[in-house]
Amino acid sequence: MYGGFRGNIVELYSMYKIVKPNVILKCVKCGQIYTPKPRLFLCPKCGSLIDVIINVEEFRWNKARERRFGVWRYRELLPIRDEVEPVTLGEGGTPLIKLRNVYERGIVDSRNVYVKFEGANPTGSFKDRGMTVGVTIAKYLGVEGVVVASTGNTAASTAAYAARAGLRCLVVLPQGGVARGKLAQALLHGAEIKEVEGSFDSALEEVLDKVLNEELSGYYPLNSFNPWRLEGQKTISYEIVDELGTTPDFVIVPVGNAGNISAIWKGFKELYELGLINDLPRLVGVQAEGAAPIATAWFRGLTEPLFIDKPTTIASAIRIGRPINWFKAMRAVKESNGFFVTVSDEDILNAMKILAKYEGIGVEPASATTLAALIKCVNEGKISRDDLVILVATGHALKDPDTVFRAIPA
């Protein structure tokens, strides 16, 4: 089994200075332990993905709260050494907005629902949480640039953080498959753009192949097979608990490449294991009907996804047929006693309009899947009216104006 390029001597030495001494890497499947290597993405023993494990000595909310609300408030729980100055644009610290009007108007029969509005991040999506950590590592490794495959948001975020760090940025995109706001951001921040035929899956395959074959050794990859990036994304959970002071009953998350739901579960589990919360939430992973390789497998009781070649959905951010983090995500949802749901494009557009029109929250279609899923779950009795529910609204409405114009002709 090919373990991948793990970093040259300079990078290995740099990594030692970037990452805390109490951090190890662990294979998600076979459990093999490794010392931190910047380019160890697949377990050399079994080929599975890797998790970052931090042996946290102490974390106190009071001390953390002396810092700004955002990703770096939780430094003790992040793998980066205290003396390393992060590449940051002030990411995280996003609003947790309680829905009011949809219940009162009888549109959603659930009265304890909050939207974690990730559209309020610097580039308008949750990806910034991962990139502040990922690009910080890239900068101090001394690489020339960073590279990602993307349905758009990862590209926009990587381009901005690379610009901030003074690094080159190469983004590989599915031709015609990226919403215009995201493409504009990648261009504006100076990314080099390469388009490939097919879906996001072809773009990711190209990046992963090149990384494993060491063809891109000057570039550091920041897709979600990079476990360091997911460390930033787990702070969504820390912030929810920090602000609510309790654990929600359900957290509903859109699932594409399945990295974010895995990171969110890791965040909650860490708080639980540190004794900082007494309960864990149930996770609900949402996929669009035409791009549901994990959810359809779940419905059939399978333990592996049913990959699809031509994913279709209006929610281009999650138009993914071969999610690389499927194992982590299925394990997370199972461990949490949660489940997967699919929603139709019609339901997605409807939910997007409801959030925007009745609550003033403008999200892109992928994020609207969470409200569509909530409505479905409440109707089916899977979530009850009084449950405390978080909808992770992953990206801003401005990302995809064309879909808005199609849904609501001017």
Contact status: 154 vs ligand F0G (CB under 6 A): yes
Q: Is the CB of 18 or the CB of 191 nearer to ligand F0G?
A: 191
Q: Is the CB of 88 or the CB of 260 nearer to ligand F0G?
A: 260
Contact status: 202 vs ligand F0G (CB under 6 A): no
Q: Is 346 exposed, middle or buried (0-12, 13-18, 19+ CB in 10 A)?
A: exposed
Among 152, 281, 293, 338, binds ligand F0G (CB under 6 A): 152
Q: Is the CB of 110 or the CB of 125 nearer to ligand F0G?
A: 125
| Interface positions, 372-401, toward ligand F0G (CB under 6 A) | 394-395
Interface region with ligand F0G, contact rule CB under 6 A, candidates 9-17, 63-71, 272-280, 364-372: 364-372
Interface region with ligand F0G, contact rule CB under 6 A, candidates 148-156, 237-245, 298-306, 335-343: 148-156
Contact status: 251 vs ligand F0G (CB under 6 A): no
Per the DSSP assignment, residues forming a β-bridge with 342 are 287
Smallest separation, CB 63 to ligand F0G (Å)? 30
Strands (E), 209-280: 219-221, 250-254
Among 88, 94, 257, 350, binds ligand F0G (CB under 6 A): 257
Q: Is the CB of 153 or the CB of 350 nearer to ligand F0G?
A: 153
Around 390, how many Cα atoms within 13 Å sit in the side-chain half-sphere? 26
Around 350, how many Cα atoms within 13 Å sit in the side-chain half-sphere? 13
Residue with tokens 């009907």: 289
Residue with tokens 């419905």: 299
Residues 6+ apart with CB under 8 A from 7: 15, 37, 38, 39, 40, 141
Smallest separation, CB 287 to ligand F0G (Å)? 9
Contact status: 318 vs ligand F0G (CB under 6 A): yes
Q: Where are the alpha helices (DSSP H) in 169-251?
A: 180-188, 200-212, 227-233, 235-244
3-class DSSP assignment, residue 139: helix
Among 170, 258, 368, 374, binds ligand F0G (CB under 6 A): 258
Cα separation, 378 vs 363, in Å, equals 21
Q: Which residues bind ligand F0G (CB under 6 A)?
A: 125, 127, 150-154, 224, 254-260, 317-318, 364, 366-367, 394-395
